């Protein structure tokens, strides 16, 4: 009897304590849902829209009649901005330029705080500035003839793989007659292009299986930080209890493939680096590292940091760009008239005698607009990569404490009816005026903005145009079974939004 009384009293005490904590809020913090035990308002987000946290946040903002939602994710005070103008303002506010120190960032970087994505402050500033400064010498962030030639060569191999059939065993996993397997079919031009930027080296077709492994494992990593698996960041200890369900094993496996690849590459560079001349970016980094260590005895430059810099730039290269193209092909299957317009534009501007190049981009507004519209209607990172407030700050009348998580809801921006009119429609023409691409009409931010702008925006836009235009010049696409596609596939929400892999029929255009 006494035991029952103690149990009931304990339950009652826990209930009262939970109730008090649920409605306990920071002073002058934005309004939002209550905080439940362990995961805070994360439970409510999942119950609102379990498979799309951005949509859940938008719904919650409407319920509380606020453009800035304030809530707790576990123990993390968090604000989510659900307004187009405020999102842009936040992205250009330096006080919000921090990053969270969470398990997702640590497990991928030797349990240290390394790389570009998940670092901030002086370390991040120095490393990002150095990489972008010297990447430009090899075509990253600007147009470069050598890089464009590399990508063009890979596109030719990609097309040949389908028209003339596989040459190597790994190709048979992606090409079967007129069928190709998306999204990894598109991976090689992007990855080998990035390899050229980093090392001026590319892998030959006989070693494409290595590049496809990078793409496949990169996608494993991206998908294992999904809406349910995000619990790992809030309660890291669950990795030891439910390593598969929490996404920990998938994150570790996917990341290790890229780490191993670049560890080997960096060690080879160090062995052959003689310090007399720089062959590529990796040489420049190694030289700077050695100079600082000899002169000052310490440096933000290190072998591990170089590996993580390579990994950080390769992850989106190996996953995000091919995901955009896979979703665009799916959209073409849903709206076949898009394909006819693209083919007409390619035939009129380029013809069939050569591949489309970046000179053609300005004369192919519809093809370019399709890429922009795809990234608008399907934001790859709907809630962005979370920022951290680096100091106490007042934002639109609210007090935002230091270390608050700050997230922008890009879904709101990209589906804002006041900006787009008919945001739910896939309509590339919205970016075209007087027969030309009008970039001023593109208010979307698929690559973010401000100091945290995705460093690979120029490379991604240029290479996606090259690959997509070259592919569409060569092929007519249709469903694998020949039946019309009636609805889009279910989206997979992870660090980026992807769709399940699928087969598509490609018929050569003669």
Distance CA 77, CA 406 (A): 9
Give Cα separations from 107 to 69, 254, 282, 302 (angstroms): 30, 11, 24, 18
Residue ranges of E strands in 308-460: 387-388, 393-395, 398-400, 405-408, 432-433, 436-437
Co-location of 145 and 214 in the same domain: yes
Co-location of 422 and 409 in the same domain: no
Residue 87's pLDDT is what? 97
Looking at the domain assignment, is residue 95 inside a domain? no
Strand partners, 182: 502
Distance CA 368, CA 362 (A): 8
Looking at the domain assignment, is residue 37 inside a domain? yes
Co-location of 36 and 137 in the same domain: no
Sign of CA dihedral 33, 37, 40, 42: negative
Co-location of 204 and 353 in the same domain: yes
Co-location of 442 and 398 in the same domain: no
**Of 371, 398, 414, which residue sits at a domain end?**
414
Residue 163's pLDDT is what? 96
Which residues have CB under 8 Å from 335's CB, separation 6+?
Answer: 426
Per residue in 309-359, pLDDT tens?
999 999 999 999 999 999 999 999 999 999 999 999 999 999 999 999 999
Per residue in 107-131, pLDDT tens?
999 999 999 999 999 999 999 999 9
* Total number of domains constituting the chain: 2
- Calculate mean pLDDT across residues 214-243: 87
230 conformational bin, left if phi > 0, alpha if psi -120 to 50, beta if neither: alpha
Residue 136's pLDDT is what? 87
Co-location of 247 and 303 in the same domain: yes
Looking at the domain assignment, is residue 303 inside a domain? yes
Per residue in 77-113, pLDDT tens?
999 999 999 999 999 999 999 999 999 899 999 999 9
Co-location of 237 and 280 in the same domain: yes
Residue with tokens 């994505």: 117
Co-location of 236 and 359 in the same domain: yes
Provide the residue count of the chain: 510
Looking at the domain assignment, is residue 85 inside a domain? yes
Looking at the domain assignment, is residue 104 inside a domain? no
Domain range for 431:
114-380+415-508
Closest listed residue to residue 410, CA positions, set 490, 497, 283, 337: 497
Looking at the domain assignment, is residue 101 inside a domain? no
Domain CATH number, residue 128: 1.10.630.10
Co-location of 399 and 488 in the same domain: no
Co-location of 247 and 199 in the same domain: yes
Co-location of 425 and 314 in the same domain: yes
- Residue 311 · residue 115 · CB < 8 Å: yes
Looking at the domain assignment, is residue 106 inside a domain? no
Looking at the domain assignment, is residue 449 inside a domain? yes
Of the candidate ranges 29-38, 218-227, 297-306, 474-483, the one whose mean pLDDT is the lowest: 218-227
Co-location of 186 and 57 in the same domain: no
Residue ranges of E strands in 416-480: 432-433, 436-437, 475-479
């Amino acid at each position: 009897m006494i035991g029952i009384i103690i149990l009931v009293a304990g339950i009652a005490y826990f209930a009262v304590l939970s109730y008090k904590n649920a409605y306990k809020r920071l002073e002058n913090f934005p309004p939002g849902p209550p905080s439940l035990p362990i995961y805070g308002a994360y439970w409510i987000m999942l119950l609102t829209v379990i498979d799309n946290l951005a949509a859940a946040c938008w719904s919650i903002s409407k319920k509380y009649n606020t453009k800035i939602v304030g809530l707790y994710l576990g123990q993390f005070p968090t604000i989510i901005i659900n307004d187009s103008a405020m999102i842009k303002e936040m992205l250009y506010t330096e006080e919000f330029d921090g990053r969270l120190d969470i398990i997702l960032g640590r497990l991928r970087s030797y349990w240290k705080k390394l790389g570009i994505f998940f670092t901030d402050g002086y370390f991040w500033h120095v490393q990002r500035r150095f990489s972008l400064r010297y990447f430009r010498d090899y075509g990253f962030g600007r147009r470069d003839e050598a890089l464009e030639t590399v990508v063009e060569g890979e596109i030719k191999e990609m097309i040949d793989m389908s028209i003339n059939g596989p040459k190597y065993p790994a190709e048979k996993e992606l090409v079967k007659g007129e069928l190709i397997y998306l999204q990894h079919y598109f991976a090689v031009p992007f990855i080998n292009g990035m390899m050229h930027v980093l090392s001026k080296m590319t892998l030959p077709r006989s070693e494409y299986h290595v590049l496809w492994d990078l793409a496949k494992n990169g996608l494993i990593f991206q998908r294992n930080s999904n809406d349910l698996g995000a619990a790992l960041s809030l309660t890291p200890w669950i990795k030891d209890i439910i390593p598969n369900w929490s996404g920990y094993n998938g994150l570790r496996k996917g990341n290790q493939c890229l780490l191993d690849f670049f560890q080997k590459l960096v060690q080879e560079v160090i062995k052959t680096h003689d310090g007399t001349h720089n062959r590529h970016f990796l040489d420049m980094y190694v030289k700077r590292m050695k100079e600082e260590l000899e002169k000052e005895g310490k440096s933000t430059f290190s072998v591990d940091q170089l590996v993580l810099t390579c990994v950080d730039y390769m992850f989106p290269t190996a996953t995000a760009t091919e995901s955009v193209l896979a979703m665009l092909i799916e959209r073409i299957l849903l709206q076949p008239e898009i394909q006819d317009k693209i083919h007409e534009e390619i035939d009129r501007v380029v013809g069939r005698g050569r591949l489309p190049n970046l000179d053609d981009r300005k004369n192919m507004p519809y093809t370019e607009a399709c890429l922009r519209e795809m990234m608008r209607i399907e934001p790859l990172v709907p809630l962005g990569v979370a920022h951290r407030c680096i100091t106490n700050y007042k934002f639109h009348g609210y007090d935002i404490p230091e270390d608050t998580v700050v997230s922008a809801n890009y879904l709101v921006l990209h589906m804002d009816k006041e900006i787009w009119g008919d945001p739910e429609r896939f309509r590339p023409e919205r970016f075209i005026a007087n027969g030309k691409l009008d970039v001023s009409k593109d208010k979307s931010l698929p690559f973010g903005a401000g100091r945290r702008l995705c460093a690979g925006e120029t490379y991604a836009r240029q290479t996606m145009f090259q690959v997509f235009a070259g592919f569409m010049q060569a092929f007519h696409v249709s469903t694998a079974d020949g039946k019309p596609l009636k609805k889009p596939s279910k989206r997979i929400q992870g660090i980026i939004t992807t769709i399940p892999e699928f087969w598509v029929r490609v018929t050569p255009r003669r």
